[in-house]
C-alpha cells in the first residue's frame, strides 16, 4: 500500500483541470480498498478525512484541490459467469474502461451494449449514472453489481430493483451517495441481437456506410462514427461529454413551449411527459460555440462544455451557471448538471 502526497489530478480527469489531491493511492483488489479506508480512519475519533473514489474521471469537474484522500479504482477483469438459452451473463471489474468492455462484448458476439460504444469512463460508473445513448440505457442490460459498503466495511449485492435506476440516476447518486464503492458489475447480454437503430442518425449512418447485413459490429461502428463527428475527443479538448441532462416537462408545458417556439425538440415519454433536447435549448439561447478565455461551449454540440487548455474548474462551473440562468429566462425550463461537481 503506497499513499502519495500532493499528487496532480490533471491527467486523471477528462476536463484536464489542474488540481491536486492531498493524498492519493491506487487499489486493484477489495482487500487493498479495505486497507486504504482503514488507514484513512483516525483511530482516536474514528473519523475519516474526505475520500473520493476516482474511476475514469470522465464525469467530474474539479473546482478546487481535493483536501483528502483520492483512491483510483483499478479493479479489472472481464469474465463470463453463466449462460442460458437466450443470454450470457458477463462480469466486469469497475476499473475496466467502458469502451474496451463494449468492444470485448462485440468481439465475442454478446449483444446489447453496441449502442453504448465510445462512451468515456469506466464500468463502475455505468450503473451509478445509468449511462445511456441512442435509445439504450444500462438498466436494459444490467443484472447485478457488487459494492463495498464503506461504513460496514463489507461487500453488498445489488439487483436491478435495488439500484432504482432513473434517467442518469441510481441510488448511488442520491440515497447512498458516498456510501458505496462499486467493485464489479454483471450484465445480461443477448445471444441473438435485438437491434435498436431508430434513434438519432444510426439508420442514416448505416446507409452511408453501405451496410447490407445488420450486425452488432456495424451498429457499434455507426455509433462511433456519429459520436466522433459531433463530440470532441477529451485527449484533444478537455470535456466530460454531455454536461447537462435533457429536462423533462409535462405535456401542457410542452404545448405552451411549442406555441412560442415551434421548432422546440421534444420526445414523448411512457409516463406521458416530454423529454426536451437540452442541446437545442442551449443553442437557441445563443451559447453554441461561445468561448470565454479557455472555457467554452463546443462549436458542434452545445451540450458539451470544454476546456481549451488552461481553464480552471471554477471557470467551467461559472459558464454552466450562466447557461442555466439563460435557458431558464428564455424558455422557463430548468436544466440540471449531469457532471459531478467536486
Q: How far apart are CA 103 and CA 220, in angstroms?
A: 9
Q: What is the CA radius of gyration of the chain?
A: 21
| Tally of CB atoms within 10 A around 240 | 26
Q: How far apart are CA 173 and CA 266, in angstroms?
A: 26
Q: How far apart are CA 73 and CA 76, in angstroms?
A: 9
- Closest by CA to 280, choosing from 313, 247, 253, is 247
Return the residue matching grid coordinates 466495511: 153
| Tally of CB atoms within 10 A around 241 | 23
End-to-end CA distance of the chain: 25
Catalytically active residues are: 168, 242, 338
Axis-axis angle for helices 216-230, 98-107 (nearest 10): 150
CA count, 13 A, side-chain hemisphere, 177: 6
| Tally of CB atoms within 10 A around 302 | 25
Q: How many helices (H) and strands (E) does the chain have?
A: 9, 20
Distance of CA 14 to CAs 22, 123, 198, 209, 332, Å? 20, 16, 30, 30, 31
Amino acid at each position: 500500500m503506497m499513499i502519495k502526497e500532493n499528487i496532480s489530478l490533471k491527467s486523471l480527469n477528462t476536463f484536464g483541470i489542474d488540481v491536486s489531491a492531498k493524498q492519493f493511492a491506487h487499489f486493484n483488489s477489495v482487500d487493498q480498498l479495505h486497507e486504504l479506508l482503514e488507514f484513512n480512519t483516525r483511530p482516536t475519533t474514528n473519523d475519516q478525512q474526505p475520500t473520493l473514489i476516482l474511476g475514469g474521471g470522465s464525469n467530474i469537474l474539479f473546482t478546487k484541490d481535493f483536501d483528502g484522500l483520492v483512491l483510483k479504482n483499478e479493479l479489472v477483469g472481464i469474465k463470463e459467469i453463466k449462460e442460458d438459452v437466450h443470454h450470457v451473463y458477463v462480469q466486469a471489474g469497475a476499473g475496466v474502461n467502458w469502451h474496451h468492455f463494449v468492444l470485448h462484448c462485440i468481439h465475442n458476439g454478446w449483444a446489447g451494449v453496441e449502442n453504448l460504444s465510445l462512451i468515456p469512463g469506466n464500468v463502475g460508473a455505468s450503473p451509478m449514472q445509468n449511462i445511456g445513448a441512442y435509445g439504450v440505457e444500462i438498466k436494459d442490460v444490467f443484472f447485478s453489481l457488487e459494492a463495498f459498503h464503506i461504513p460496514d466495511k463489507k461487500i453488498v449485492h445489488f439487483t436491478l430493483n435495488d439500484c432504482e435506476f432513473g434517467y442518469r440516476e441510481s441510488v448511488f447518486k442520491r440515497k447512498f451517495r458516498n456510501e458505496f464503492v462499486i467493485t464489479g458489475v454483471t450484465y445480461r447480454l443477448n445471444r441473438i441481437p435485438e437491434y435498436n437503430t431508430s434513434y438519432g442518425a444510426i439508420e442514416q449512418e448505416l446507409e452511408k456506410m453501405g451496410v447490407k447485413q445488420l450486425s452488432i459490429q456495424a451498429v457499434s461502428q455507426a455509433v462511433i462514427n456519429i459520436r466522433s463527428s459531433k463530440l470532441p475527443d477529451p485527449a484533444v479538448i478537455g470535456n466530460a461529454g454531455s454536461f447537462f441532462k435533457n429536462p423533462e416537462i409535462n405535456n401542457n408545458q410542452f404545448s405552451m413551449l411549442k406555441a412560442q417556439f415551434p421548432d422546440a425538440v421534444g420526445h414523448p415519454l411512457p409516463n406521458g411527459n416530454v423529454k426536451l433536447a437540452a442541446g437545442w435549448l442551449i443553442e437557441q439561447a445563443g451559447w453554441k460555440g461561445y468561448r470565454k478565455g479557455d472555457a467554452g461551449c463546443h462549436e458542434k454540440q452545445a451540450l458539451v462544455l470544454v476546456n481549451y487548455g488552461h481553464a480552471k474548474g471554477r471557470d467551467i462551473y461559472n459558464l454552466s451557471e450562466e447557461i442555466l440562468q439563460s435557458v431558464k429566462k428564455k424558455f422557463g425550463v430548468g436544466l440540471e448538471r449531469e457532471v459531478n461537481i467536486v
